[in-house]
Amino acid sequence: MTHRVRVPATSANLGPGYDAFGLALALYDVFEAEPAELWSIEVWGEGEDVLLTDERNEVARAMRRVFDEVGYSGAASVRCENAIPVGRGLGSSAAAIVGGLMLGDLLAGAELTRERIFELATELEGHPDNVAAAVFGGFTLCWNDGSGARAERIEPGSGFAAVIALSDEALPTAEARLALPESVPHGDAAFSAGRAGLLAAGIALGRRDLVSAGLVDRLHEPYRARLIPDMAATREALLSAGATGAVLSGAGPTVLGLVVAEGDVFTLF
Ligand code: HSE
């Protein structure tokens, strides 16, 4: 029997919510798998020329993580139909991991909870924000309660849509994380804490003024700007075109704008 799952692209951070906020976008990778004698992996669409198709493939690794968890010893034939651009800050890696865990769960009959899938995905990804939005959808807030990663889905108030200014260049997240300092000035931390609160409240309440004030960050964007020379110009272009605010999508280099819109609008340009 072939199992099929669909996982959304995600935008992490949203400015001041570094490693904590995530937003699911209406752009999806589709993963299929069926039991087989030996592992085989096909990748079609985005990343088909760069993604690995051996045992290092992220979908297959995540499937094996579930198999190990429940003591299932099978292999699988896996097919990835990718629409999420790779390495641009739209959660392609998180989608592969979450898709693999869900397929692994289905093939092994493991019946893991979404919370457990989120925990495993965080372990594999190394940070929780993209995988939270990929697992739970909508707008998600993450934290660590001491025993592991936790996430809460917030239903966005109506009236916002994401606009993505997709970068042609890829920027590995590991490289973008290395650009960050060990510590930040206390004033910048306080500034970003206030903005993060405003942003979450604004999204939950559908308040454009709060979202606009909240989409400003001093924790990571200033340090990543030197890796992304066109970040400031792209942000300005989105704001000039009427965006409520614009921030790096995840670790970049893509820039995400939030615009006032009715309905479920998603634009990629
Ligand atoms: N929070 C992560 C980072 C997201 O900014 O490094 C990476 O997609």
Q: Are residues 47 and 68 in the same domain?
A: yes
What is the pLDDT, as a whole number, of residue 55? 87
DSSP state of 17: -
E-only strand ranges, the chain: 3-12, 21-36, 40-45, 75-82, 139-144, 149-154, 160-165, 245-248, 255-260, 266-268
Per-residue pLDDT of the chain (269 residues; tens, 9 = 90+): 999 999 999 999 999 999 999 999 999 999 999 999 999 999 999 999 999 999 899 999 999 999 999 999 999 999 999 999 999 999 999 999 999 999 999 999 999 999 999 999 999 999 999 999 999 999 999 999 999 999 999 987 777 889 999 999 899 999 999 999 999 999 999 999 999 999 999 999 989 999 999 999 999 999 999 999 999 999 999 999 999 999 999 999 999 999 987 655 455 44
pTM: 0.94
From 13, 125, 219, give the residue whose CB has the most ligand 1 atoms within 8 Å, as the site to mutate. 13
Q: Are residues 147 and 30 in the same domain?
A: yes
Structural domain range at position 190? 160-260
DSSP state of 162: E
Number of domains into which the chain is organized:
2
- Give residue ranges with CB within 6 A of ligand 1: 12-13, 18-19, 89, 127, 129-130, 173, 176-177, 220, 250-251
Last residue of a domain, one of 119, 154, 189: 154
Q: Which CATH number covers residue 234? A: 3.30.70.890
